[in-house]
Chain A
Amino acid sequence: MTAAAAQFDAMVPSACVLKQVTKETPDTFTLAVARENGSGENAFAPGQFSMLWVFGVGELPISISGDPSKHDELVYTVRSVGKATHALVSQKPGTEIGVRGPFGHGWPFQAARGHDVIIVAGGIGLAPLRPMIYEVFQNRAEYGRLVILYGARSPRELLYRKELAAWARQPETQVLVTVDYGGIGWHGHVGVVTTLFKYARLHPARSVAMICGPEIMMRFVTRQLQEHGLQEQNIYLSMERNMKCAAGFCGHCQYGKHFICKDGPVFPYAEIAQLLDKYEL
């Protein structure tokens, strides 16, 4: 298929070779995918996602978790939770998977320049935030302090452990990690991610916060951030809904008046504050 045809039809994937599959946790894998047809098309903004198609099985929205400055490959971190994600993480390097996108509006990295950045992630929610973390380190002088608050269910479910440790050693960077259940051998924090706020050194007046995780966690985190004095307009969330097309045609990802695929997945808190408390919206 030619590039022109790909542009013509946003619903048709291009075939990309799976280069590498890395196990992050017992159920989560990072996939590096190369594009056949040149590097320019791999440009993406932190927080954007692709639709990944496993031949004959199904297609899923998956956030790009790699480094936005590297154009030779696209990196995804996938948690195997069902048929399609299981098929995706079980593909052998060398096989091809279908890629559409990138889609959506990502993190407001330009608006965040000149500010401290607070990253709050729960579980697989760290994956869509990792490109933003890379962005901060690549343009370190553009940003103030970087604070990363990350929660997972248990120590073995923590993503990117080596990187977390490396980031923690960087200047002007604070990394706090917690787990719901520590178990033997865990000496870190135990409790939900909001319990980390008391250890975080924040300058709310000059900070932009970016959050991704389960909705219930995001509700509590936004509340905490506001209690700490963060302005509503400096809080951003990445939302998830069922998605079949990512182009605004299928209707599945509607969230109030928003289509998460094209208006999101990242939203300023003020735009969705009214919706977050609505049950079964």
Chain B
Amino acid sequence: MATRAQTPRAPRKKREPSPTRNSPRAAAEATSKGNGSQPKPNSGKRNAKTASAIEFDRANHRPALITPEQLEKLIATLINDGFEVIGPTVRDEAITYDPVKCVADLPAGWTDEQEPARYRLKKSDNPALFGYSLGAQSWKTFLHPAEARLFAAEKQNGAFHILNNDPIPAVSRALLGVRACELAAIRAQDRVLLGDKYRDPIYGSRRESALIIAVQCSHAAATCFCVSIGSGPKVSDGFDLLLTELVDANGHRFVVEPGTDRGIGLLARVDAKPALEADLAAVESALASAAQQQRKLDTAGLKEFLYENFENPQWDKISARCLSCANCTMSCPTCFCTTVDDATDVTGTHAERCRRWDSCFTQSFSYIHGGSIRTSAKARYRQWMTHKLAAWTDQFGSLGCVGCGRCITWCPAAIDITEEVRAMREGGVRADA
């Protein structure tokens, strides 16, 4: 996406607690936030030198090569520039995106096994840092947070005023290890939260200040189907830097392509060398092996098919298994739905309005006076799948599914969106049903 080659934002400085933050709760938050972000004084200037609003021409830039040591330097450089670097780590026996300070924080020598309702991390002989596929969590945690305060307000004598209406996060983040399908998911959320009539400032501020270091996959989980969707494994745009990790007789190294001027600036600062033809050939073969995928989703005419099959016995079969637990929607990187909660303090004079992720699998989601619209699990699953694979195309011009497979892995009932579509299309009965 050309528009991403934009002026980088200087990581924000420590925020001044607003003078209107006078409740104990708001004051406590202001303090903890202030302590949390350590600004770097001259970071903005250095970034500004490489800033460019013009379209970035990738063809002009040969891929570079860096070693794990240079990756270490890249992370240090980003941290020095004031970024919080978020990358994959191992937590609770799963890959989780967390702040990383150095290469040692990354999951070296781990790979994963994924099946419907099954996820296992296991050790491998390969020392690769990115040798696994996706965990349950996606980057929406950082761009479209699970919980965000819309505003706080103070009331006095029947009148109120809005406090600290500042949705901008205290720190800019560098997202390290964003896979092709996840970039597609970020683009999908861009269209929902930025691309229409209104712009969501909570998402927008995080999105625009984020620096993206994408990683191309060299292995696919059994649940992946990005090839069917056309969202991967090759990364085409939307990144500052794009890494492909290679581990072979020529050593452990990363082919790096810049996608923005900011990316070029970073490469220069870690003394990246040009990549060799052999390295580029190795990237292609890594991608080819990631493109070997077990799962497929036939997207041809899918929208019309689902609209026409609002009534189909397969919905009943799915709903007999679906627990309406909402795991699929929470783990899905494109699902964007939210609800809001209002709360006041004990005096009733300080109110807050918070937004939280919501799921179309809950009854309350469709509640209007008189009762919920979608009372049955069948209607809720149908809403979810029809939105992902049909309505989304009408609404935003692309599928709402990027083929990441998370909903398959993390569904406790092992419901597989690709299988359900296939079964419905074939009109037959599933082997295990």
A interface residue numbers (CB < 8 A to B): 1, 5, 8-13, 15, 17, 53, 55-59, 81-82, 92, 94-96, 98, 240-242, 244-245, 247-252, 254, 256-257, 259, 262, 278, 280-281
Contact = CB atoms under 8 A, between A and B. Distances in A.
Given A55-B351, A98-B153, A249-B336, 4 more contacts: A56-B342, A251-B338, A257-B390, A281-B383
Interface in B333-377: 336-340, 342-344, 348, 351, 353, 355, 358, 360, 365-369, 373-376
A248 B358 contact: no
B391 A1 contact: no
Interface residues of B, number: 50
A252 B162 contact: no
B394 A242 contact: no
B387 interface: yes
Given A55-B155, A241-B366, A242-B368, A11 B150 contact: yes
21 contacts: A1-B165, A9-B167, A11-B201, A11-B355, A12-B165, A15-B159, A56-B348, A57-B342, A59-B340, A94-B158, A95-B158, A242-B367, A248-B192, A248-B198, A250-B339, A250-B340, A250-B358, A254-B383, A257-B390, A262-B196, A281-B379
Contacts of B373: 241-242, 280-281
Nearest to A259: B395
Contact of B337 (A13, A53, A250, A256): A250
B25 interface: no
A242 B200 contact: no
A155 B28 CA distance: 55
A254 B161 contact: no
B387 A254 contact: yes
Given A15-B159, A251-B360, A8 B391 contact: no
B161 A1 contact: yes
A247 B198 contact: yes
Contacts of B197: 247-248, 262
Contact of B162 (A15, A249, A250): A15
A13 B337 CA distance: 20
B365 to A, nearest CB: 6
Contacts, number: 117
A247 B375 contact: no
A249 B158 contact: no
Contact of A82 (B342, B355, B369): B369
A55 B339 contact: no
Interface string B133-172: 0000000000000000011010100111110010100000
B159 A96 contact: yes
A5 B192 CA distance: 21
Contacts of A5: 165
Nearest to B348: A56
Contacts of B342: 56-59
Contact of A244 (B165, B339, B374): B339
A98 B352 CA distance: 13
B78 interface: no
Nearest to A280: B379
Given A56-B351, A244-B339, A259-B395, A10 B198 contact: yes
A56 B201 CA distance: 22
A280 B368 contact: no
A249 B151 contact: no
A239 to B, nearest CB: 10
Nearest to A36: B159
B160 A15 contact: yes
Contacts of B395: 257, 259
Contact of B338 (A8, A59, A245, A280): A245
Given A249-B200, A254-B391, A280-B375, A244 B158 contact: no
A222 B348 CA distance: 47
A86 B383 CA distance: 31
B337 to A, nearest CB: 3
Contacts of B387: 254
B369 A244 contact: no
B193 interface: yes
B165 A252 contact: no
